[in-house]
Every structure is written in structure tokens, then in C-alpha cells.
Structure 1
Amino acid sequence: MIRDLSKMYPPARHPVPHQPGQPFKFTVTESCDRIKEEFQFLQAQYHSLKMECEKLASEKTEMQRHYVMYYEMSYGLNIEMHKQVRRLLIKVKNATGTC
């Protein structure tokens, strides 16, 4: 167990200006601010994508409703057409006297 906290936590340093060829060092505050900005950006992106997803889900439901409506109409028209053809064939058979 470490008893000397100076070994566990390095002493605070003042920010050093960035020099070319050396990696840029962020202070804790700068790092926190950057993380906060990135988090807010990701939250905004998430919200935008969530809204788009909800919009697409709504459009999908509407398209499915239209599909069912058109399918039912098509099925009904097909049945009615077959009934009329059957009636017409019966009339033709009766008119020509064929069985």
C-alpha cells in the first residue's frame, strides 16, 4: 500500500506552451471541457438520429397501412371480376343453349 501520496499523484504543473515536434499536453480542465463538448455533440447526433428513426418508423407504419388497404381493394376487385365472368359465362351458355 502506498502511504506517500506524492508518489501516487504527481505534483500539479502549469501548462507548458506547445512546441513543434512534441505531443500536445492538455490540462485536466481542458480535457474535461473537450470531453464535455464531444459528449454534447454525440448527444445532439443521437437525438437527431432518434428523431429520424421515429420518422422512418412512422412512415413505415403508414406504408404498411396503405399496402393492406390496396391489397384488400385488389382482392375484392379480383373476386368481383370472377363473379361477373362467371355470370357472363352462364348467360352465354343459356343464350346459346349449351350445357
Structure 2
Amino acid sequence: MFSVISINELERMIKAGEDLVFIDLRRAGEYEAFHFPGAVNIPYQLLNQERLMPYRGSLLVFGCEHGGKSMRAARDLNRRGFRTASLGCGIPTRKPD
């Protein structure tokens, strides 16, 4: 089962040094406008199991514009044996103040 997490939970996990990889599912232009430090950009249309194999042992946290694609990615890849979570609220389009 995958979990749905908030931005605050994600920040807590990162500060605690948890073994996770944040996968930003938005298009390259959206990613370049703003992304979380350390995020890996794999647009949803290009997402496949092979691209994620280097991160197989880590918790994969998916994020997208509003949360729908990240939920689908987390669910589908969890069914394939990956440890996954979804950022439920979506990714801000610009750096928060």
C-alpha cells in the first residue's frame, strides 16, 4: 500500500535523512520554473519501471501539478513492488515565500 503525504511530511522525512527520491512528474518547463532541491524530473508520459530501477531500494515520492498523476504513479508502481508515496497536494508552481 502506498501513502499520501503532505509537503510538511516530505520536509520532515528529508530532514530526518530518510532514504527517499522525489520524482517530479511535471513537464520539463514546469520543473525548471520551480522544483524541490534534489528532485528527479521524469515527466509522467515518460515514466516506466526501467527508469526507476536505479532508485529501487528507496522510497519513491511522486509529485505532479495537482496530485492525480502522482497518485496513479504511486499506486501502479507500488503494485509492481516499489515502495511509494504521493505528494497529495501537488507541487507549487513557484517557490513558496
- TM class by shorter chain equals under 0.3
Q: Which has the higher strand share?
A: 2
Compare relative contact order (CA 8 Å, sep 6+) and give the higher one, 1 or 2.
2
TM-score in terms of structure 1 length: 0.16
TM-score in terms of structure 2 length: 0.16
Q: Which has the higher helix share?
A: 1
